[in-house]
Amino acid sequence: MIRIVLQRLALGLLTLLIVSAVIFGAVNLLPGDFAQAVLGQSATPEAVAAIRTQLGLDQSLPVRYAGWLWDAARGDLGVSFAQANFASFTGRVDPSATVLAQIAPRFANTMFLAGVTAAIAVPLAVGLGILAALWRDTAFDKGANIATLSSISSPEFFVAYILILLLAVVNPVLPSLSNIFPGMSFGERLEKTLLPALTLTLVVTAHMMRMTRAAILNLMAQPYIEMARLKGMRPLHVILRHALPNALAPIVNVIALNLAYLVTGVVVVEVVFVYPGIGQLFVDSVKLRDIPVVQACCLIFAAAYILLNLTADILSILSNPRLRHPK
């Protein structure tokens, strides 16, 4: 088991290395002069050249990538281009100008939003999947499938605006803007996070519910399930005690994939609700051409996605002993 985990971790690190190269190359090959964008159109060529030298933009792409990767491995994600003038002319780096200082609180906010969403979506999706399998082909089963497929088929911003209309305008029970700031109590923070969390819940519930339903139904024709039925066990007890434990591998996989989406795919929802998370920071940094912040956000997105996929693989192996003994 330890060997399998180490193999998965090595594969994950290799994947992250390849993704980091793609991220760095794609961002730095964008058209335009980043130093010119920082200083503005009225800057002199000498000032632009000085900023390019200070930011290392005059070096070759492989050299810049190697330096960025080495610094990132040591936890140094660089300095924001938005603070380049201050850092350049004073000869020192303001701690608040570092990429890490800007990302850390935003990433904490995104993780809080993802945690609230997961606390709602995972039990709801698994419960709906179990009930849909229990009452297969009934009105409940068809209604749950229609509702979840409708929500996942709609664009995220459309779902967000519908919820704002219903829960913040027509029935003002939740705030429409998630203006989170330090020092808020947990209750206030939860209240302002609830509407974007409900939006994400509607988006991710369908995948998890349908996979739970399909995984359980695939096992219902197995001999041990038939034996449990013949013993007179109640249908719900059969599903919870015999079918669900053996269906955990695919369910865990789809839950992990959706949790990865909650970290990496929240950009649209955070922009709609003006939620101060890493997705909102990513969009703002693209507008400002703040390249170190954009690269760091992309790297965090990739690392989170790879880590959650590795976790899903490991949990699947632990829940299914047959995967530990390949043929």
Q: Helix, strand or coil for residue 325? A: coil
Of 267, 269, 248, residue with least CA distance to 312: 248
Cα–Cα distance between 318 and 160 in angstroms, integer? Answer: 37
For the entire predicted model, the pTM comes to 0.82
Note the pLDDT of residue 116. 92
What's the farthest any 2 CA atoms get from each other in the chain?
86
Residue 285 exposure: Cα atoms within 13 Å on the Cβ side: 26
Cα–Cα distance between 270 and 173 in angstroms, integer? Answer: 20
Backbone angles phi, psi at 221, to 5 degrees: -95, 5
Cα–Cα distance between 313 and 12 in angstroms, integer? Answer: 11
Cα–Cα distance between 52 and 31 in angstroms, integer? Answer: 15
Cα–Cα distance between 210 and 92 in angstroms, integer? Answer: 55
Q: In the chain, count of helices (H) and strands (E)? A: 16, 0
- Cβ neighbours around 40 below 10 Å, total: 9
Mark 281-299 as b/e (b = at least 16 C-beta within 10 Å).
Answer: bbbbbbeebbbbbbbbbbb
Note the pLDDT of residue 232. 79
User: CA-CA distances (angstroms) from residue 180 to 114, 162, 213, 315?
Assistant: 15, 22, 37, 34
Cα–Cα distance between 120 and 114 in angstroms, integer? Answer: 10
Q: Which residues contact 194 (CB under 8 A, 6 or more apart)?
A: 116, 174
Q: Which residues contact 280 (CB under 8 A, 6 or more apart)?
A: 106, 267, 270, 271, 274
Note the pLDDT of residue 119. 92
Note the pLDDT of residue 90. 44
Q: Which residues contact 297 (CB under 8 A, 6 or more apart)?
A: 103, 278, 281, 282, 285
8 A C-beta contact, residue 113 and residue 189 = no
Note the pLDDT of residue 96. 62
Cα–Cα distance between 290 and 38 in angstroms, integer? Answer: 8
Note the pLDDT of residue 94. 57
Note the pLDDT of residue 216. 86
Cα–Cα distance between 142 and 147 in angstroms, integer? Answer: 9
Backbone angles phi, psi at 79, to 5 degrees: -115, 140
Cα–Cα distance between 70 and 62 in angstroms, integer? Answer: 12
Q: Is the dihedral of CA 211, 213, 219, 221 positive or negative?
A: negative
Of 210, 206, 213, residue with least CA distance to 153: 206
Per-residue pLDDT of the chain (327 residues; tens, 9 = 90+): 677 778 878 888 888 889 888 888 887 776 666 666 666 667 777 777 777 777 777 777 888 888 888 888 888 887 777 765 544 444 455 556 788 888 888 888 999 999 999 999 999 998 888 888 888 888 888 888 888 888 888 888 888 899 999 988 888 888 888 888 888 888 888 888 999 999 999 888 888 888 888 888 888 878 888 888 878 788 888 888 878 877 777 888 888 888 888 887 788 888 889 888 888 888 888 887 778 888 888 888 888 888 888 887 777 777 666 666 655
Architecture of domain 108-278: Orthogonal Bundle (1.10)
